[in-house]
Structure 1
Amino acid sequence: MTASVSQGPVVPRLRLSTCYFFYFAIMGALVPYLARYLRVEGFPPDRIGQVAAVLTLMMSIGPFLWASLSDRTGRRMLWARISAVILVVSFILLMLAGTLPLQMLFIALVGLFLSSIVPQMEAVTLEYLGPGSSQYGRIRLWGTMGFAVVVLLMGPLLDALGAQWLPAWMALLALASLLTMLLVQDVPVQADAPRALAAWSAFLERLRHFPIWGLYLALFLWNVSLAAYNTFFDLYLQKVGYGSLAIGGYLAIAPLAEVLFFLILGGLLLRWGARAVLVAALLVTAGRWLLTAWAADLWWVLLIAQTGHALTYGALHGSSMYLLSKLFPGNQQARAQAFYLAFSTGLGLVAGNLMAGALWEGPLGPQWVFTLNAGFSLLSMLIVLFALKARRLQPLLRH
């Protein structure tokens, strides 16, 4: 007789990939083009900055919105779909809003519910993959492709039809995202899973281990270093002397490099381990910011720096998802993702943007902003080196 082998759930790769594509397509419309929409609506620069701050802060809160309910019930996609419905309505109301307070309110709702979707998607994807979580990058790369496609297409659309229609386009993308979510079912929750693990106290107890909070802190510092690029890179290249066509090309190189890297990330994680990939990626990130700071006027150097986005974002995010899937039980995954998005990503980007905004026009200027960001990347690398040593990490991993 042969022993029966327990098979995990069949991974709906196409459906999950489509979910990522349309979710990040929304981000591709919102992040680069919100300022253009607000400018057409008559917002002065200081108001645009305030709106961006509100959006970022709400996106830091959003990941926790459904985390407890989804971990307790196991119905992650239900809460993601509810968020998507509210998101569609918020975009429509934003288009119809005629006053500043209403516009601020609906943009805040967009940030809250847009950011509450992705922890559920990430947790469901990692639950489906199970021991094969190193293959996460091959699904997640479709999100990057969705972002890149919309970034390239939305600019000409807004030029042709008017930036005031941006909320309508985002509502359509959010509706498409909702429809794809209807096709993805939750991974069944194990009936014998201890209820104690569904409590926040269990999550916080696990969080106190040095490898776990060290990982979150390292990712926070990485996002601090990334913020100036996300917000000010376009302005920086204009100051260096590049035209809009060249700037668009350099911006497009980054997600393309990220997509290609996601294809090989799984093999690198299995061969070298997440710690080695994170260390290499953070070292490259520091080098990228130094090249951007001091040699951006050389086209070929800037090309190399932008290609480094494959490691600066692709390797770091993919490796982080891989580690979080191993460090937390399945019914704590939504909390783990929420804390990553709220603390490491959300607050990291807020801190980085505040720092960059304060120093950009000051005596230091943009070159030293990027240089400081290289320092944050190196500090993050040192934390990874110490926190994720095998003797500390191994007892915490789920196999």
Structure 2
Amino acid sequence: MVAEMRGDLSWYGRLRLWGSVGFIVAVMLGGQVLERYGIVQLPLITCIVMLLVLYASTRLKEAPVDHHEQAVVSVASVLRKKEVIAFFSASCLMVMSHSALYVFYSLYLEKLGYSKSVIGTMWSIGVLAEIIFFFYQAPIFRRIGTRKLMLGSMLIAVLRFILIANVDGGSWGLLVLVIAQILHAATFGVHHSASVMQLQTWFGGNLQARGQALYTSISYGFGGTVGGILMGFCWESGGAHAVFLAAAAMAAIAWLMATFSYRWQQEKRA
């Protein structure tokens, strides 16, 4: 599907937003089904969804690749480049930092005394914010550029996690949580789209699918798993405050690695 865009990935968001819409639909419908029939139905629901995904996948048609548009390059040779290593390190760290949200955010808010409806609302705000960004991202990327947006998203992540780490109960705490969730449009939406665009620098043509697979495996597979484990240690040793401060630190290191990646890319072009 990315190949169909012929190098113009500024409109990628309007494709990606359907994943966010699917998340909302799955949570709403799945919650009602589980509430009515019990958690024992979860494996059945999962199997049905996976079968639908499999069916949809069989209906996709691969875009033809122009094998003459670029020289043949191996994946191994691309992965040995220091700017690529720095990019994947930054992406991995960014996803690791977000493990604090995916694993402990709801527990944290419940511990602060917020109701389940408030917790659900916070998640909905974050997803809606990313959907709005994905829909309007094309002119934003064209005006600001991938590099500035990528680095900016990481700095915003540092701010976001510091805000969450220092929130307390009450109306002011709720306002801070709302602001932090709106920032999800930047820390997830901007970063994800910028990463997909950046991948095209090294993984174009017949390497595109493998580049996407590497990005998903390294960032979300390895990064998400390791991040969840590390955040678990932080939760046990220092509580929620330590978890989100660790997330802010990971985002800061991700910014540093991304800065090195772009600097090395500029040196090669000079």
More contact order relative to length (CA 8 Å, sep ≥ 6): 2
Shift of residue 375, structure 1, vs aligned partner: 1.1
Equivalent pair of 1:126/1:325 in contact (CA under 8 Å): no
- Counterpart residue number, 1:241: 113
Answer with 1 or 2: which has the greater Rg: 1
Instruction: For residue 174 of structure 1, report the CA deviation from its aligned partner.
Output: 2.1
1:175-233 deviation line (CA, Å, top 9, x unaligned): 22233223321112335578954xxxx11111222222111110111111111210111
Alignment identity in percent? 32
Q: 2:90 touches 2:254 (CA, 8 Å); kept in 1?
A: yes
Aligned to 2:260: 386
Q: Equivalent residue for 1:227?
A: 99
Match of residue 366, structure 1, among 220, 227, 240: 240
Count of residue pairs the alignment pairs up:
266
How far has the Cα of 1:327 moved from its partner? 2.2
Question: How far off its partner does 1:164 sit?
Answer: 0.9
CA separation of 1:393/1:246 partners in 2, compared to 1, >3 Å: closer, same or farther?
Answer: farther
Asked if 1:335 is matched to 2:202, the reply is no
Contact 2:150 2:194 in 1 (8 A): yes
Q: In the alignment, which residue of structure 1 is the partner of 2:131? A: 259
- Per the alignment, do residues 223 and 393 of structure 1 end up closer, same or farther by CA in structure 2, a change over 3 Å counting? farther
| Inter-partner Cα distance in structure 2 for 1:181 and 1:210 | 34
After superposition, residues 30-45 of structure 1 pair within 5 angstroms as none
Deviation >4 Å, runs of 4+: 191-196
State the TM-score, normalized to the length of structure 1.
Answer: 0.63
Change (3 A) 1:385 1:136: same
What are the Cα deviations for residues 151-186 of structure 1, in whole angstroms up to 9, with x where unaligned?
122112101011111122222222222332233211
* CA distance in structure 1 between the aligned counterparts of 2:225 and 2:268, rounded to whole angstroms: 29
User: What's the TM-score once normalised by structure 2's chain length?
Assistant: 0.92
| Contact 2:167 2:177 (8 Å CA) reproduced | yes
Does 2:66 correspond to 1:152? no
Q: Deviations over 1:117-159 (max 9, x none)?
A: xxxxxxxx22111221121111111111101111122112101
CA distance in 1: counterparts of 2:226 and 2:59, whole angstroms? 37
Selected match of 1:345 from 220, 244, 251? 220
CA–CA distance in structure 2, aligned partners of residues 353 and 151 of structure 1: 21
Match of 2:2 among 111, 126, 146: 126
- Distance in 2 (CA, whole Å) between partners of 1:195 and 1:266 is 29
Q: Find the partner of 2:17 among 141, 145, 156.
A: 141
Which residue is 2:174 aligned to? 299
Point out where structure 2 has 5 or more consecutive residues left out of the alignment: none
Q: How does 1:1-399 map to 2 (within 5 A)?
A: 125-190=1-66, 192=68, 196-197=72-73, 202-297=74-169, 298-362=173-237, 364-389=238-263, 391-392=266-267, 394=269
In 2, Cα distance between equivalents of 1:132 and 1:296: 43
Distance 2:232 2:254 in 1: 22
Instruction: Describe the shift of the 1:235–1:147 C-alpha distance in structure 2 as closer, same or farther (beyond 3 A).
Output: same
Computed over aligned residues only, the root mean square deviation of the Cα atoms, in angstroms, reads 1.9
* 1:316 Cα deviation from its structure 2 partner: 0.5
In structure 1, distance between residues paired with 2:67 and 2:151: 39
Distance 1:296 1:258, change over 3 A: farther
Q: Is the 8 A contact 2:66 2:205 kept in 1?
A: no
CA–CA distance in structure 1, aligned partners of residues 70 and 136 of structure 2: 36
Partner SS, residue 361 of structure 1: helix
For the 8 Å contact 1:285–1:312, the answer to whether it is kept is: yes
Amino acid aligned to 2:251:
S
The secondary structure found in structure 2 opposite 1:388 is helix
